[in-house]
Chains A and B, each alone.
Chain A
Amino acid sequence: MTAHAPVAGSPLVNAVSDTSALFGRHLRHLVRMPEKLLSVTLMPVAYVALFGVLFGSAMQVPGGNYQDYLMAGILAQTMLTNVSATALGVATDLGNGLVDRFRSLPMSHAAVLLARTGSNMVLATLSIVVMSAVGYLIGWRLDNGVGPALGGFGLLLLLGFTMSWLGALLGLVLRDVEAINSVAFLIVLPLTFLSNAFIPLSGLPAWLRAVCDWNPLSAVVTACRQLFGNVTGPLNDSFPSRHPLAMSLVLTSVLLLVVVPLAVRAYRRAVTR
C-alpha cells in the first residue's frame, strides 16, 4: 500500500486551505446548533429591549436620548461574550481528543485557532445585525453617514476578534468548563461595568473615573458613538476620552498582538489529558 500523495502546495497555500476547511467545520456547527444561534440573537435582542426600555425610562443623558447612548455600549458588551464562547469551544476540542488528532496532522497549527476565532465573527456579525435592527425599532439612528458607521461596526468586530483570541488562550490554559466560566466572568464583568457602556462617567469619583476612562471598552464605545453620530454624554478631559478612536485601535490591536502568539504557543503544547 502506498501513501496518498499530498497535493503539493506552499505552506501559505496549505495554511489557507486548512483554515477554510476548518472554517467550513464551524459553519456546519452553527447550522446544526440552533440553540447557539438563539444565544447570539435572542439574548442581545432581549438586552436591547430591556435596557433600552427600562433604563431608558429612568436615565437621562445630556444632549440626547438614552437609547442612542446605549446602543454602542450594548453592542460592545456583546462582543465580550466571545471570550467564553471561544474558550468553551477550544476546551471541548481539547477534552475529546480532537486537538490531539489535529496536532498529529501535517497541517498549520494557527489555522485551527484562526478558523475558530474567524467563524465566531460570523456569529458576531449576525448579533450586530439583529441588535441594530431592534435598536432601530426603539429609535436608534446612525446620524453620521454610512462610511463612519461601517467603521464603527468594524471596530466592534475587531474587539470581538481580540476577545475571541483571548478566549482561545483561556480555553487552552484552563481546559475546564467551570474554570473557564469563572475566569471569563472575572474578565468580562469589570470590563463591562467599569466602563461608559451603560452610564456616563461624569458622576463617578475621580479615581474610579480614571479607571473607567482607561478601560479599552470605554474607548471602543466612545469611538463607536462618535462614528455612529450618537450622543457621547459628557466626556472627561483625559487622553483616552480625547482620542477614543486612536486609543481603541491601539489598545485592541496591542492586546491582539499579545494574545495571538500566546494562544498559538499554548496550542502547540496542548495535549488531551
Chain B
Amino acid sequence: MDVAIHAEGLRKRYGVHEALRGVDLAVPTGTVLGVLGPNGAGKTTTVRILATLLNADAGHARVAGFDVAANPREVRGRIGLTGQYAAVDERLTGRENLRLIGTLHHLGRRTARTVADDLLDRFDLVAAADRPVKGYSGGMRRRLDLAASLVARPEVLFLDEPTTGLDPTSRNLLWQTVRDLVGSGVTVLLTTQYLEEADQLADRIAVIDTGRVIAEGTADELKRRVGGERLEVRLASPADARTAVKTLNWIGAAAVSEDRLTVTVVLPPGMHAIAEAAAALAKTHIQVDDFGVRRPSLDDVFLTLTGQGTQVQQGRAA
C-alpha cells in the first residue's frame, strides 16, 4: 500500500526541553491517522515538521512522496494545514481570504475565483462571503480556515486540534468534511485531545506522550491491549466506595472514579465473575444504582498507557 506520510526517528529539542524523542509514523494513502496525546506531548511539533514549518534536529520524513527537508516546496504544493488558530485575515472578507490563498498557490486568477466560490458554498459561508472576517463567529472562522487549507485540493491534510473550542454544529460539519475528503482519496493526519474524535474519524491511532509514540493501532486493537470488558458499578452514595472496592477486589484491582460514585474492575473472560460480583454486592448493605458491563473506551487506553487520563477526560467533557 502507498504511504502518504512517513516519519522516522523525528527529534526536536528546544533548549533543554526535548519536544520529540524519536517519532515514527506511517500513514497509508487515503486513510486517517489520529494522533492522540495530552498538551505538550509533541503533537503540534510533529505536525509542524511534517508541514515543513520546522526542521527536525534528527530523523527524516516524507510527505506525498517528497522529503520535507530536501523538497519543502514540492511538499507545500501538496498539503493543506489547519492549525489551532483560525489562520485567516480578519480585515479581509471570507471570499478575499480564499482568493488570496488560491493566488498564492499560483492557481491563476480564474481558478482562484471559482475555487473560492465553491468552498464558500461547501462550508455554508455564502451569506457571509463578502463581510470582513472580523465579524465572523468562532465556528465560521474555523470553517473558513479549513476551507483555506483545501484551496489547492491537497493530497495530504494536516489538522492540528481542529475542533478545539468548536460548537457541535461546526464540529459535525468538519467531521463530515474529513470523511468526504478521505472518501475521495485524501490522507489526513489529525491531532486531537478528544478520544471521541479519534474514535469517530481515525482508521488508526497513534498515542503520543512526552515526545514519543507509545502505542499505535486501530481503536479496537488499542482497546484490546488494555484488557477485556469492565464491570462498572454505580453507587448511590460515595461513602460506600470503600466497601464496594473490598467486595470486588478479588476479581482484579478495582478503580474508583474521582466522584467516588463509580467502581470499575477489569473482568476475566466468562460469566462467573459477573455472577459472583452481583451476589457479593447483594449481600452487603451497599445501594447500587447501576450495574453493567462495558467494553474498554479509549479513555481506558489512555489512562493505562500514559497514567494521565484525567486531563484528557476533562477535555472530552468540555
Contact = CB atoms under 8 A, between A and B. Distances in A.
Interface in B127-176: 132, 148-149, 152-155
Contacts of A107: 104-106
A1 interface: yes
A271 B104 contact: no
A105 interface: yes
A32 B73 contact: no
A192 B92 CA distance: 35
A100 B81 contact: yes
A3 interface: yes
Contacts of B152: 3-4, 6
A44 to B, nearest CB: 23
Contacts of A4: 105, 107, 111, 115, 152-153
B300 interface: no
A102 B51 CA distance: 12
Contacts of A7: 106-108, 111
By CB atoms of chain B within 10 A, which of A6, A97, A102 has the most?
Answer: A97
A97 B87 contact: yes
A3 B106 contact: no
B307 to A, nearest CB: 27
A103 B53 contact: yes
A97 B107 contact: no
Nearest to A107: B104
B102 to A, nearest CB: 8
Interface residues of B, number: 44
Contact of A2 (B52, B100, B153): B153
A3 B154 contact: yes
A137 B101 CA distance: 46
Contacts of B81: 100-101, 104
A58 interface: no
B291 interface: no
Given A17-B106, A104-B53, A106-B73, A1 B153 contact: yes
Contacts of A106: 73-74, 76-77, 105-106
A3 B155 contact: yes
A268 to B, nearest CB: 10
Contacts, number: 102
Nearest to A112: B104
B154 A272 contact: no
A102 B89 CA distance: 11
B53 A21 contact: no
Nearest to A18: B104
A27 to B, nearest CB: 11
A101 B76 contact: no
Given A3-B154, A25-B100, A100 B83 contact: yes
Interface in A1-17: 1-4, 6-7, 9, 14, 17
Contacts of B52: 103-104
A102 B97 CA distance: 12
B306 interface: no
B111 to A, nearest CB: 6
A202 interface: no
Contact of A272 (B83, B92, B148): B83
Contacts of A33: 91
A98 interface: yes
A97 B85 contact: yes
A23 B96 CA distance: 13
Interface in A174-221: none
Given A98-B89, A100-B87, A21 B104 contact: yes
B26 interface: no
A29 interface: yes
B106 A101 contact: no
Interface in B38-58: 48, 51-54
Contacts of B100: 21-22, 24-25
A9 B106 contact: yes
A7 B106 CA distance: 6
A100 B53 CA distance: 7
Given A1-B153, A6-B107, A105-B104, 4 more contacts: A1-B184, A6-B106, A98-B89, A106-B106
10 contacts: A4-B105, A4-B152, A17-B103, A21-B103, A24-B100, A28-B92, A96-B86, A97-B86, A103-B52, A272-B85
Interface of A: 1-4, 6-7, 9, 14, 17-18, 21-22, 24-25, 28-29, 32-33, 96-98, 100-107, 271-272
